[in-house]
Amino acid sequence: MNRFLGRAWLPLMLAGILWGGIALYRDSAAYREVKSVYDRVASEITRFSPGDDPDRIYVRCMVNKPLHLKWQIASPAAAHLIGVRQGLGGSGRATIQGAQEVICRFAVDLGHGQAYQQWQLAGSGSSGGIEWELASFLKRHWDELQISVAGEDETQAFDSLQVIDLLRIEFPSSLLRTAEQELSTPLYQQLQSPVLLCLGISDSPGWQEVSGLNDMTRRFMNGVR
């Protein structure tokens, strides 16, 4: 018995190693395949780690590329939220009825002589065009824009009574001077108020303190309260 085992072990083990080698080769191809996607995703998407305090709203910007931003928002108390947007040729608002997890998005798409914009607050959103001259002006001067994004570096916890600026794009006066020369008057006037995407509960006193709102947005705000 011992002698038989002594003889059989060697081919058995060699076969096992060979088989393992083949499995390793095949599985490593599958591994590389998934890893290549995973590495790209890990650099594009961040981690959302909200808490569970009902007096807080947690915000994390999950996708932050030029002209495409996406936030994940958690409201443990499932508050009724209002989202307001302003800028790039219009204003609007959306109501989010008591959801605990909300996704918001702002995106601009530059095509061939056409530009598109899209705002999304939870399920409801709006999309439309932006004047090509305005869109390409902003693209050219992207580095001069003062852009602040909520939850950019980590999951941010806000007081649930606060109105959160998910996105605020301000135009510095030096850029406005350039815009006055390069753009037509109606387009230049669109840069007089910041591009905004705000979120807060409907009866928050914070709505009165949001800065940079233009008349059109204020009319929407009056609809809010």
Partner 1 sequence: MIERPRLQFRLGHCLLLMTLLAVWLADYKLRSETARMSDALKSYSTIASFLVVENRSKLQVLEEPQLWNHEQVWQVYVPQPTPLELLCVQRRGQAQGSAADDFRTPLAPGRHRIVFRHEIPQTRRTGVPAFAGVYLIVDEQEHELSLRQLDENEMPAPMQLSQNLRGSTKSQAATEPLELLSAGPTDGVTWKIWIQPADAQHAGD
Per DSSP, 219 falls in state: H
H-only helix segments in the chain: 2-44, 132-140, 173-182, 185-189, 215-224
Q: Does 8 bind partner 1 (CB under 8 A)?
A: no
Q: What character string, x for contact with partner 1 (CB under 8 A) and - otherwise, covers 105-124?
A: --x-x-xxxx-x-x------
Is the CB of 128 or the CB of 223 nearer to partner 1? 128
Whole-Å CA distances, 91 to 37, 45, 86: 37, 28, 4
Q: Which stretch binds partner 1 (CB under 8 A): 14-22, 146-154, 160-168, 215-223?
A: 14-22
Nearest CB to partner 1, comparing residues 14 and 216: 14
Q: Which is nearer to partner 1, 19 or 202 (CB)?
A: 19
Contact between 94 and 73 (Cβ < 8 Å): no
Q: What are the structure tokens assigned to 225, written together?
A: 């309260």
Distance CA 36, CA 65 (A): 20
Which residues have a Cβ under 8 Å from the Cβ of 120 and sit 6 or more positions away? 103, 104, 105, 106
At residue 97's C-alpha, the angle toward residues 202 and 86, to 5°, is 55
Q: Which is nearer to partner 1, 57 or 61 (CB)?
A: 61
> Which lies closer to partner 1 via its Cβ, residue 28 or residue 146?
28
Considering the rule CB under 8 A, would residue 9 count as an interface residue with partner 1?
yes
Among 63, 67, 77, 161, binds partner 1 (CB under 8 A): 63
Size of the site for partner 1 (CB under 8 A): 43
User: Does residue 67 belong to the site contacting partner 1 (CB under 8 A)?
Assistant: no
Q: Could you give the CA distance from residue 61 to residue 149 in angstroms, rounded to a whole number?
A: 7
Residue 70 is a binding residue for partner 1 (CB under 8 A): yes
Backbone angles phi, psi at 21, to 5 degrees: -65, -40
Place of tokens 């780690």: 49
The reply to whether 152 sits near partner 1 by the rule CB under 8 A is: no
**In this chain, which of 59, 69, 72, 137 binds partner 1, going by CB under 8 A?**
72
Q: Which of 64, 131, 147, 159 binds partner 1 (CB under 8 A)?
A: 131
Kindly list the residues in this chain that would bind partner 1 in the complex (CB under 8 A): 6, 9-10, 13-14, 16-17, 20-21, 23-24, 27-31, 33-38, 41, 44-45, 62-63, 70, 72, 103, 107, 109, 111-114, 116, 118, 127-131
